[in-house]
Structure 1
Amino acid sequence: MFPKVTLRFYVTVLCSGYFGILYVFHGHLQQEIQSDKADTAWVKWKNTIYKINYKNSYNFTRTKILSKIDDFTQEMRGPVAHQQSMLKDDVVITASHPSSDSTCYLPPNSVTRTFQFMEKGGIYIYSAYLDERLPDKRFIRVMTLMMSAQKSQKTVSFFCHFKENLEQHNASIYELCENHGKEYGGYMVSCVVPEHVTDICQISVSADIFSKDSSVKLESTRAITLDVTQINTKHAKYNYGVCVPPLFGKPRKEQLIEFIEMHKLLGVSHFIFYNFNIKDEISKKVLDYYSERKEATVVPWSLPSVMWGDQIWYHGQLSVHNDCMYRAMSMMKHLAIIDIDEFIVPHKENGTWTNSFDSLFKTSTNTCALSFDSAFFEPVISNKIASNLITMGSLTRSQQFSRVRTKVIVQPAKVFETGIHHVSKPLNEEMKVIKVNTSEAFMHHYRTCVPNYGMKCSNTVEDKTMLWHFKKLKDNVYNVLKEITIDSVEL
């Protein structure tokens, strides 16, 4: 006689069978996963789809962008890497393995940068700098050219993508101060670097484009990847340096050599030239000579074709000023951004920038720049003084000083944005600019006097200050001409 089957017995049998089947199936599943580690790695780095968030749009109708670079939302954006393809309102991201090698930063003297077009919106990205000068935050500063606020019918939101943690963050945009109402202008895109992000050797930037009159998104750009230059002010080995904004056309070889050799006598150790379509082959040879001697860095500056002519102010001059300043932060303690007909000259015998200006910078730790008035020197090439040496032959200047056509020597580490004739924005509000008295030094501008901005050109005076340097300059220019096998002028 069989024992009576109770409900408890029935439930126990069913549960035992269920867990037995589950154990066998789970063990088989684990065996498959363990035997296919390659698939696991692929799953880990598989493409991720995320939704774009449209906060923090930049409105092109604003004439001035917020100057507080750190005033924007820090929001995690989901997994991101440096390659994107568009699929309606979604962005498909292909991840790449990050590099942990800190030596992968692009050196400040690199000459490999070029403009990259973001395909839509008239946006061109040039360079990226890791800015760690503020104690509480790190920033990526991206130099950008795009359609100016007054001309565009669109608004833009920018995003920065960090490789290591596959994250996207809102970016802020700052309009440079002297775009002069042209169709295209210079801008600086800034991103706060999250504290946990350690690999910043590359940064990717993308943008969403919106209609000016609505919040409707028109299009998304592809992400542009840039090699990052780390700003390290402690590594600045030159005391004084000079940057020359877009150099173009056919500058005279003697003028280039005189500019460099005269500034070397004044205490300048290194020069950065931005070469915008120099056509004279001998002038190129002069720049190559100084580049080979490590006395000059020659940066190609090739504007996008849509910006040639009157579409942008003076060949993108202001963007060059600021790219050069950020580049120079790791190279030079003090920097002047001047043209090749401009010389900031101490007016004391044997005066140099070092023995004249070092003490002025040290008057206060908050000094970020020295500002110099200018005087026009009527350019003369005279055989009575020295053939083709314009600083030696031009000894008559305007009696009146221009307080509009000023130039500055900055401490790059203490400046956020530089203008053409002034410091546009110090790094901190407490920073100040010292105005240098014309009895101590001023800028010699070797060009015909321009009677605007209240400038009176009729009254002139004789000024022989530069003759203090005559013999050394004459010999140095002659030696350079001889070394580079160019027929020398009569000196």
Structure 2
Amino acid sequence: MIELNRILGANYFFFYNYSASPNIDKVLEHYSNRGLVKVIQWRLPFPVTIVNMTTEEIHYYGQLAVINDCVYRNKGASSFVVNQDIDEFIIPRKQNNWSSMINTLPTKRQNFMFRSAFFRKDWSDVNQSDLSSEDRLLAERYMSVTILKQVREDVVFPAYTRSKWMARPECIEVAGVHNIHIRKNVVKCKTYVLLLAEGLLHHYRSLRNEWK
């Protein structure tokens, strides 16, 4: 997840950790020591459970608080903030990275929204002919779904439904999971919804996913 996003243009990562396995902790520690990751231990003032969540949970462990905390930490520090889950990737359709993609988009827009599609992990891997045997072995060894799973569902969700965004933090007053709720300046901080030919949010999941 980290390496692909670095290729795409991310320079720094914030992880809000409610719980993680020892292996994940080691990976995060490795990147933290390299100056690429900040891990914020995230706790809510009451117990939560990952199974059979009730209406007493604060919207899946306080996502809105997490997102806005990240936005405000990056004001004056980052050109853009990118909001996506660990199983999601914002993929340019014509360029090789986010910076090149943004340079082709309307210059008067400061917030960019990406529509989402499911790339199914329970479907067959990419055809043998599309990967060299060496590349396939590496992808299988590291369980790289972004290489092995290249077929998506036909449905592309409309904007504001499962979409994710990248935006200039100075333009955000209140951020949401799928869009910017309140902009600092409605004239200067307009949102541009990318065409499918420009960019797409790849969401890698199985049919029976633990989270809806």
Q: By how many angstroms is 1:336 displaced?
A: 1.0
Map of 1:156 onto structure 2: none
Q: Is the 8 A contact 1:368 1:433 kept in 2?
A: yes
- Runs of 4+, deviation exceeding 6 Å: none
Map of 1:439 onto structure 2: 197
Map of 1:379 onto structure 2: 121
Q: By how many angstroms is 1:359 displaced?
A: 4.0
Residues 47-446 of structure 1 mapped to structure 2, 5 A cutoff:
259-278=1-20, 280-305=21-46, 310=54, 311=56, 312-348=58-94, 351-360=96-105, 363-364=107-108, 367-379=109-121, 382=125, 385=136, 386-387=139-140, 388-403=143-158, 404-430=161-187, 431-446=189-204
Flag structure 1 segments of 5+ consecutive residues without an equivalent. Answer: 1-258, 451-491
Flag structure 2 segments of 5+ consecutive residues without an equivalent. Answer: 129-135
Q: By how many angstroms is 1:448 displaced?
A: 3.1
Q: Is the 8 A contact 1:266 1:351 kept in 2?
A: yes
Q: Is the 8 A contact 1:374 1:442 kept in 2?
A: yes
Report the structure number with the largest CA radius of gyration. Answer: 1
Q: By how many angstroms is 1:315 displaced?
A: 0.3
Q: Which amino acid aligns with 2:96?
A: G
Residues in 2 aligned to 1:375 and 1:334: alpha-carbon distance in whole angstroms: 23
Q: Is the 8 A contact 2:117 2:155 kept in 1?
A: yes
Q: Which amino acid aligns with 2:2?
A: I
Q: By how many angstroms is 1:277 displaced?
A: 1.6
Coordinate RMSD, CA, aligned: 2.0
Residues in 2 aligned to 1:409 and 1:399: alpha-carbon distance in whole angstroms: 24
Give deviations 1:456-487, integer Å, cap 9, x for gaps: xxxxxxxxxxxxxxxxxxxxxxxxxxxxxxxx
Secondary structure in structure 2 of the residue aligned to 1:264: helix
Secondary structure in structure 1 of the residue aligned to 2:163: strand
Highest relative contact order (Cα 8 Å, sep 6+), 1 or 2?
2
Map of 1:222 onto structure 2: none
Give deviations 1:317-375, integer Å, cap 9, x for gaps: 11101111101213311111111110000012x510011113426x11xx230011111
- TM-score when scaled to structure 1? 0.36
Percent of pairs identical after alignment? 32
Q: Which amino acid aligns with 1:375?
A: A
Residues in 2 aligned to 1:445 and 1:415: alpha-carbon distance in whole angstroms: 24
